Amino acid sequence: MPKLTKLSINTFRNVVPTTLEFRPGINIVLGKNATGKTTLLRLLSTITGAPDVALQDDLLDVKYCILGDSLSFDHQIIRTRNTEPTLDPELNQLLRETFTSIHPIDSFTFEKNGAVVFRANVHPTEITIEKEERQSIIRRTDRLEPLTALWLAIARMHKDAPGDALTSAISQEIFSASSLGGGRMDESLEYWNNLLGLNLTMEGDHTQSTLASWDHPSSFRRLSDSLPLKGNKLSFPVAFLDVATRILGYDSATAHFDVEHLRPGTGQQAIRLSNLRFFFKSAGEEFSHAFLSYGQKRLLSFFAYADTWKTMLIADELVNGLHHEWISACLTEIGDRQAFLTSQNPLLLDFLRFESADEVRRAFILCERTSNEAGAQLVWRNPSEEEADSFFSAYQTGIQRVSDILFTKGLW
C-alpha cells in the first residue's frame, strides 16, 4: 500500500516554504483557528488525486514523495499563470484586456534502491519520458489528471514491450498512487448532503453521475450490475451502512433509489436513479435518515467516505458530534490506512499511540500564523527533534493524556 512520506512547499499562497514529513498511519494537523489547517487538507487532497475546487486557480510549486511496494517516486507540481493578449475578432487588433490561464507542469522521478530509474514530465499537450538514457515524447489530447495520463502512456509503452519488468513495476506503482488519496471529508455534513444528492443516469455501459468518480462509495460503483431494472424503486444493500448500523445499535438498514425509465417501450435500458434515501429498522419500526441526529449523520458520512477511499483518508474535524465509542469505531475503520485528520477535540488525540520520538515528530503537523513586514504568513511544520523528544518522554511515563502533553508542551 503506497504511503505519502513527505511534502515540500515552495510556493503556495502565504505559506512559508517548508518540508513536512508524515508517518504511514494517522497524522494529526494541529493549530488555532485561521492557521490553515483546512487549507492544508485541501492541498493534500489535490496532490493525491482528488483536486479541490477551492484550489483550482492557485499558483503552486510543491513536491511530494510516495513510498511504494517496489519503487518510490517524487512528483513536483508547478502551476504558473500565463498572460496572453486578447484579440478583438471584429477589429482584428489587440485589446488592453488580457487572458490569463494556469499552465501546469508535472515532473516525476522514480527510484529503486536509491537509484533513479525513470523520469517523466507531463505537460498539457505532451509527455516526455526518460528511461535508460532514452527519451520518448508522447502527444496528449486528454484532460486527465497528470498521474493518470502518465499511467496510460506507460501502459502503452508496456504493451509495445511486454517483457519489460521495470516498466511493468512503474505502471503498477502509478496505478496504485493514482487512487491514493481521498477528497477531503468536510467538518460538517457537506459530504453527506452531496451523497444524498447523487443522481445516476445509466444507459448500456455508460453511466453519468452528479458526483465525481472519486466520491462514489464502492457499493455504488456496481449499481449497473442491477440492470435491467423493472418498477420505480431500487433497494440494495450497502457495506458501509451495515457496519455503521451495528455501531448505531439498529437492527438493519437499506438504501433506496427512485427509478425513472427514460425510454419506456423502446426495448432500450436507460434509467435515472435519484432521491437516495437510507432506511433503518429498530424494534420493528422503520424510519429514514431524516430522523437521525447530527452525530449519527456524521458517523454515516465518515463510513461512506471510508468506503470510498481504500488507501488514504483526509478528514476535517473527524470527531465533530461523535460519541466517545464512535470515535474508537472510526479509528478501527481507518485500520492500516494512512490518514490526515484535524481535531479541536482532545478525545481523538487521546486515542493516539507512539513507538518513538521520531514517530511523534512525523505524526503531528503544527500550523501557526505569524505577521511581518510582508504581511500575515502561515507556518506549517513538524515538531522539532527537541519538542518530539520532550513529548515522547512525557508520553512514556503514562501519567498524562496525549492532549494534556500537547497542551503543556505548547504544541496545541
Same domain, 22 and 119: no
How far apart (Å, rounded) are the C-alpha atoms in residues 149 and 138?
A: 10
How far apart (Å, rounded) are the C-alpha atoms in residues 277 and 257?
A: 7
User: Is 239 contained in some domain?
Assistant: yes
Which of 123-127, 165-169, 299-303, 325-329 is predicted with the least confidence, judged by mean pLDDT? Answer: 165-169
Same domain, 65 and 174: yes
In which band, very low, low, confident or very high, does the pLDDT at 276 lie, cut at 50, 70 and 90? very high
Same domain, 56 and 171: yes
How far apart (Å, rounded) are the C-alpha atoms in residues 375 and 227?
A: 58
Q: Output phi, psi for 293, to 5 deg.
A: -80, 170
Quick: pLDDT tens for 217-265: 888 887 766 666 778 999 988 989 999 999 999 999 999 999 998 887 7
How far apart (Å, rounded) are the C-alpha atoms in residues 118 and 173?
A: 12
Same domain, 64 and 117: yes
**Residue 42: which residues within 8 A CB-CB, separation 6 or more?**
52, 54, 55, 184
Quick: pLDDT tens for 18-40: 999 999 999 999 999 999 999 99
Same domain, 27 and 62: no
Cα–Cα distance list, 29 to 97, 143, 169, 343 (Å): 42, 32, 33, 7
Q: What is the pLDDT of residue 20?
A: 99
Indicate the burial class of 166 (C-beta count within 10 angstroms; 0-12, 13-18, 19 or more). Answer: middle
Same domain, 18 and 39: yes
How far apart (Å, rounded) are the C-alpha atoms in residues 255 and 289?
A: 10
The domain tally of the chain equals: 3
Decide which of 178, 207, 226 is a domain's last residue.
178
Residue 155: domain span: 51-178
Give percent above pLDDT 70 in the chain: 92
Same domain, 168 and 196: no
Strand partners, 30: 366
CB 120 within 8 A of CB 138: no
Q: Please choose, from the candidates 153, 144, 139, 150, the residue with its C-alpha nearest in 3D space to the C-alpha of residue 174.
A: 150
Residue with cell string 492532549: 403
Q: Please choose, from the candidates 226, 225, 204, 208, the residue with its C-alpha nearest in 3D space to the C-alpha of residue 216.
A: 208
Arithmetic mean of pLDDT, 382-406: 97
Buried/exposed 338-359: b ≥16 CB within 10 Å, e otherwise: bbbbbbbbeebbeebebeebeb
User: Is 184 contained in some domain?
Assistant: no
**What kind and span of H or E run contains 10?**
strand 3-11
User: Is 183 contained in some domain?
Assistant: no
